[in-house]
Amino acid sequence: MSAVASEREVRLQVVGDPKRTAVSVVHAELRSWILSGRIAPGSWLRQEELAQALSVSRMPVREALTLLGEEGLVEVLPHRGARVPELSMDELEEIYAARIGLEGLAASRAAERIDADALERLRLALPRLSALCTGGDVQAYLREDRAFMLSVFAASGRPRLVRQIASLRERAERYLRLVFVGADHITWLDHSYQLFQACAAHDRHEAERVVVDAMRWTLSQARSMLGESLSAAK
């Protein structure tokens, strides 16, 4: 946890925002650290250390860990404490089974309903995606890619569906980092361009195909890389 403690001064400014509760801030910060890999898989989360790093009492830390446990980002073990789950093949496959179905549906609906203003925003986002992808900035690229995809799905007019997708995307981010670091960036980026073209043509079948193909490609890459990582750890 020393890496977390070293950023204490930066985090104090965030926690001091009066518009947000201590629990919501701690929850957001810990989620960010877990998804970005700043807190590594398998790490134990000590309440006292986290409270000190974030300059809060243990109460909001404890409540935030409970929320993260409900989201599947933290394991809360009775009489032992909380830790970040290890990456696992089971979790990877479960996340992507859900993502493939939900994102395929959202893409199909979005392609039918998307308007000219939304298409223009997506068109302008593509060069940013390309620059971040070729630049190799994993955190910035994943953030922009997530925003791009959720903007597409928002055009479906199904906010509940989009919320489910956003939640799954957050859980998938630890695996997406593996793919971005180890796989062909251009293939990933090409899926974004194909999806934009399908939406611009209002081709719901093509939009669904592109998204499903992208999910299956990502799953295949992540499964291979995770398998290698797990084998090396044995």
Q: What is the CATH number of the domain that holds 194?
A: 1.20.120.530
Q: Cα separation of 165 and 159, whole Å?
A: 10
- Number of separate domains in the chain: 2
Q: Which of 48, 82, 88 is nearest to 66 (CA)?
A: 82
Of 42, 58, 83, the position where a domain reaches its end is: 83
DSSP secondary structure letter of residue 211: H
Q: Cα separation of 167 and 71, whole Å?
A: 8
Q: Are residues 123 and 224 in the same domain?
A: yes
Q: Which of 224, 208, 174 is nearest to 38 (CA)?
A: 174
Q: Are residues 106 and 19 in the same domain?
A: no
Task: Provide the domain limits for residue 176.
Answer: 89-233
Q: Where are the beta strands (DSSP E) in the chain?
A: 44-45, 75-77, 81-83
Q: Are residues 150 and 183 in the same domain?
A: yes
Look at the pTM and tell me if it is higher than 0.85: no
Q: Are residues 109 and 184 in the same domain?
A: yes
Residue-level pLDDT, tens digit, the chain, 234 residues: 444 544 443 343 444 454 458 899 999 999 889 988 889 899 999 999 999 999 999 999 999 999 998 888 899 888 888 999 999 999 999 999 999 999 999 999 999 999 999 999 999 999 999 999 888 788 888 899 999 999 999 999 999 999 999 989 988 988 988 888 877 778 888 999 999 999 999 999 999 999 999 999 999 999 998 887 666 655
Angle made by CA atoms 80, 50, 55, in degrees to the nearest 5: 145
Q: Are residues 145 and 216 in the same domain?
A: yes
Structure tokens at 41: 């898989």
Exposure of 135 by Cβ count < 10 A (0-12 exposed, 13-18 middle, 19+ buried)? exposed
Of 68, 83, 98, the position where a domain reaches its end is: 83
Q: Are residues 211 and 107 in the same domain?
A: yes
Of 35, 54, 83, the position where a domain reaches its end is: 83
Distance of CA 97 to the CA centre of its chain: 16
